């Protein structure tokens, strides 16, 4: 990421009265996104769930599910929606992520800096999060996102993104994974994020960035 771009974003965030801070932002409020949010809730980690990621003015297309798994998915989605409503999870179905950017060091406005932050722009303002979970994003959109974030030349971009706090769950596939596999991925990502969050909270050097 170019320094000038980071500085411009930092100034925009500092001037934006609608900046929110949360532990995690989940992009995609379908089955996978709700599964991640529910597991994070059980782990005691707050999150905000957005409708999807806009791309060229439109929301990203989600992979097509296997028709044979639809009854199972429908029932699981009903249960996840019930859990979200009962536990008052922050689900913003009418709000999509316009873009997201990884910010480092001086690009993060005090006092929320931890040395590494994700900025997610929406029509309502900016969300700052330690981690982002991207769900239901097709391969072309994911490839563009990886390039825009500067990870295209990295040998293993998915691993590098995960190390930076961006988790891909059921993303980048032409056909959606089986329901149980999606749930497994969602649970694993949420548990990893919970451990990451606990490490931030327990380590003062991670909580505060020093230039």
Number of neighbours of residue 194 by Cβ within 10 angstroms: 19
CA-nearest of 195, 194, 181 to 65 is 181
**Burial readout 102-126 (b: 16 or more C-beta within 10 A, e: otherwise):** bbeeebbbeeebebbbbbbbbeeeb
Residue 126 near residue 48, CB atoms below 8 Å: no
pLDDT digits (tens, 9 = 90+) for 46-64: 999 999 888 644 444 455 5
pLDDT under 70: residue ranges of the chain? 1-17, 55-69, 104-116, 173-176, 203-211
pLDDT digits (tens, 9 = 90+) for 28-48: 999 999 999 999 999 999 999
Q: What is the pLDDT of residue 68?
A: 54
Q: Residue 114 in 3-state DSSP?
A: coil
32 contacts: CB under 8 Å, gap ≥ 6: 135, 136, 169, 170, 182, 185, 186
Q: What is the pLDDT of residue 83?
A: 97
Q: What is the pLDDT of residue 87?
A: 97
Q: What is the pLDDT of residue 158?
A: 87
């Amino acid at each position: 990421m170019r320094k000038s771009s980071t500085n411009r974003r930092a100034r925009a965030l500092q001037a934006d009265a609608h900046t929110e801070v949360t532990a995690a932002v989940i992009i995609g409020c379908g089955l996978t996104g709700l599964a991640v949010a529910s597991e994070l809730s059980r782990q005691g980690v707050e999150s905000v769930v957005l409708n999807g990621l806009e791309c060229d003015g439109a929301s990203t297309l989600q992979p097509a599910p296997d028709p044979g798994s639809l009854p199972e998915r429908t029932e699981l989605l009903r249960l996840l929606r019930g859990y979200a409503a009962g536990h008052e999870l922050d689900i913003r179905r009418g709000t999509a992520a316009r873009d997201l950017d990884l910010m480092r060091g001086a690009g993060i406005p005090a006092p929320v800096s931890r040395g590494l932050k994700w900025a997610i722009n929406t029509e309502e303002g900016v969300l700052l999060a330690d981690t982002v979970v991207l769900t239901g994003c097709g391969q072309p959109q994911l490839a563009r996102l990886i390039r825009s974030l500067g990870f295209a030349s990295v040998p293993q971009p998915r691993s590098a993104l995960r190390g930076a706090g961006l988790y891909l769950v059921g993303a980048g596939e032409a056909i959606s994974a089986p329901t149980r596999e999606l749930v497994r991925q969602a649970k694993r990502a949420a548990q990893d994020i919970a451990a990451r969050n606990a490490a931030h909270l327990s380590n003062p050097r991670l909580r505060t960035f020093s230039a």
